[in-house]
C-alpha cells in the first residue's frame, strides 16, 4: 500500500512522526490491511460522506457492545479488549472502577482513570495519554496510522455525531480506523449507543473534544465521580484521549 496522501493544511505532519518502519516500508504491517466483513459498511460510509480518492490507512475490526446506563467509556474499553487474548467484560471493568473510586454508576470523566484501567486489563497494549489534541492533532493520526486504537471523549449529538454542548452530552468512542481523502482525515469509530460503524470528520471530533468543559446538569440521582480540576481540568476529558498501542 502506498503512503497516505499529505494531511490537510491545518493537520501538519509532526517532524518526529516518521511513518516509515525500519525496513523502509511506507506503513507498518498492520496498516496494510485487507478489508473483510466490514468492507461493505466502510464502502457505504465513504460513499455517504462523498470522500474523494479515499484510502483506508488503518482499520481494526471489533464487535459492537451496547451500553446499559452511563457506561460508554467502559464499553469502549471492553470493545478494545477484544484485541487481547482474554477480553474483559463491561461488568469486570465496572467492578474494578468502583473499587478504585473512579465511578459510581459507570461514568468515567477522566482520561487518567481510563488509562489506569487499560494498563490493568490490557497488558498486551501500552496505554498512552494524548494531550493538547487541538494544537497537536498529528499525535492522534500518527497513533492510528501505526496500529493504535484510541479512546476519545466528545459531545454526542442526537445522531451520536460530534457536537458542541460544553460537555453536557459527553460520550466515549473507540477509534478503530483512519481514512485519508481529498476532504482530509475521517475516523472510523465504535461506541456504546449503536451497532453500526461511524465515520466522522477528524476536525469535528477534535473540536468537540476540545469543548468539554463540565458535566451535564441531568446527572444521575446518586451523583457522578468528577476528577480533581473538573471535566475540563488536567485529569479530565478536554483536549485529551487515550491511545492503546499494541506490543509487537
Write the pLDDT tens digit of every residue in 45-99: 999 999 999 999 889 999 999 999 899 999 999 999 998 888 999 999 999 999 9
CA distances from residue 25 to 71, 101, 120, 127, 147 in whole angstroms, order as listed: 40, 45, 33, 25, 15
CATH for 140: 3.90.70.30
How far is residue 53's CA from residue 31's CA, in Å, rounded to a whole number?
A: 17
pLDDT averaged over every residue in the chain: 86
In a domain, 105, yes or no: yes
Q: For cell 442526537, what's the residue?
A: 158
Distance CA 244, CA 191 (A): 16
Q: Is 29 part of a structural domain of the chain?
A: no
Given a cut of 50, is residue 1 above it in pLDDT? no
Q: Is 30 a member of any domain?
A: no
Share of the chain above pLDDT 70, in %: 83
Give the residue with greater pLDDT, 230 vs 39: 230
Considering only residues 205 and 1, tell me which one the structure prediction assigns the higher pLDDT: 205
* Structural domain contains residue 192: yes
Count of structural domains within the chain: 1
3-class DSSP state for residue 40? helix
The string of pLDDT tens digits covering residues 204-221 is 999 999 999 998 776 655
Query: Per residue in 105-159, pLDDT tens?
Result: 999 999 999 999 999 999 889 999 999 999 999 999 999 999 999 999 999 999 9
For the cut 60, the answer to whether the pLDDT of residue 16 exceeds it is no
Rg (CA), the chain: 17
pLDDT at 220: 59
Domain membership of residue 78 (yes or no) is yes
The pLDDT of residue 168 is above 70: yes
Give a yes or no: residue 116 inside a domain. yes
Residue 60 CA to residue 83 CA, distance in Å, equals 9
Backbone phi, psi, residue 93, to 5°: -65, -40
Residue 185 lies in a domain: yes
**Cβ atoms of residues 158 and 143 within 8 Å:** no
Distances (CA, A) of 57 to 2, 78, 151, 175, 194: 10, 24, 18, 13, 23
How far from 228 is each of 68, 81, 109, 231, CA to CA, in Å? 26, 28, 10, 8
- pLDDT surpasses 50 at 14: no
- Report pLDDT for 39: 80
d(CA 177, CA 23): 24
Query: What letter does residue 38 receive in the DSSP assignment?
Result: T
- Domain holding 181, by residue range, is 57-246
- pLDDT of 30 reads 44
Residue 46 inside a domain? The answer is no
pLDDT the model gives residue 83: 86
- Give the pLDDT confidence score for residue 18 in this predicted structure: 38
pLDDT digits (tens, 9 = 90+) for 17-59: 333 344 444 554 444 455 455 788 999 999 999 999 999 988 9
Catalytic residues: 72
106, 237 Cβ separation under 8 angstroms: no
Q: What is the pLDDT of residues 112-125, one digit of tens each?
A: 999 999 999 998 89
Q: What is the dihedral of CA 80, 248, 35, 114, to 10 degrees?
A: 20
Amino acid at each position: 500500500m502506498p503512503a497516505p496522501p499529505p494531511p490537510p493544511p491545518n493537520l501538519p505532519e509532526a517532524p518526529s512522526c516518521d511513518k516509515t518502519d525500519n525496513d523502509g516500508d511506507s506503513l507498518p504491517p498492520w496498516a496494510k490491511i485487507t478489508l473483510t466483513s466490514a468492507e461493505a459498511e466502510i464502502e457505504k460510509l465513504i460513499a455517504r460522506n462523498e470522500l474523494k480518492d479515499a484510502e483506508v490507512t488503518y482499520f481494526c475490526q471489533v464487535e459492537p457492545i451496547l451500553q446499559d446506563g452511563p457506561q460508554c467509556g467502559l464499553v469502549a474499553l471492553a470493545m478494545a479488549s477484544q484485541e487481547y487474548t482474554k477480553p474483559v467484560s463491561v461488568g469486570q471493568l465496572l467492578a474494578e472502577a468502583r473499587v478504585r473510586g473512579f465511578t459510581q454508576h459507570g461514568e468515567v470523566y477522566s482520561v487518567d482513570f481510563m488509562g489506569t484501567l487499560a494498563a490493568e486489563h490490557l497488558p498486551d497494549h501500552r496505554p498512552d495519554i494524548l494531550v493538547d489534541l487541538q494544537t497537536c492533532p498529528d499525535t492522534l493520526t500518527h497513533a492510528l496510522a501505526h496500529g493504535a486504537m484510541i479512546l476519545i471523549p466528545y459531545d454526542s449529538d442526537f445522531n451520536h455525531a460530534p457536537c458542541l454542548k460544553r460537555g453536557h452530552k459527553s460520550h466515549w468512542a473507540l477509534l478503530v480506523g483512519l481514512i485519508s481523502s481529498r476532504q482530509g482525515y475521517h475516523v472510523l469509530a465504535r461506541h456504546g449507543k449503536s451497532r453500526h460503524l461511524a465515520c466522522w470528520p477528524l476536525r469535528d471530533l477534535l473540536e468537540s473534544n476540545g469543548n468539554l468543559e463540565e458535566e451535564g446538569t441531568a446527572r444521575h440521582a446518586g451523583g457522578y465521580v468528577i476528577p480533581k480540576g473538573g471535566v475540563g481540568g488536567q485529569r479530565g476529558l478536554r483536549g485529551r484521549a487515550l491511545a492503546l498501542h499494541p506490543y509487537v
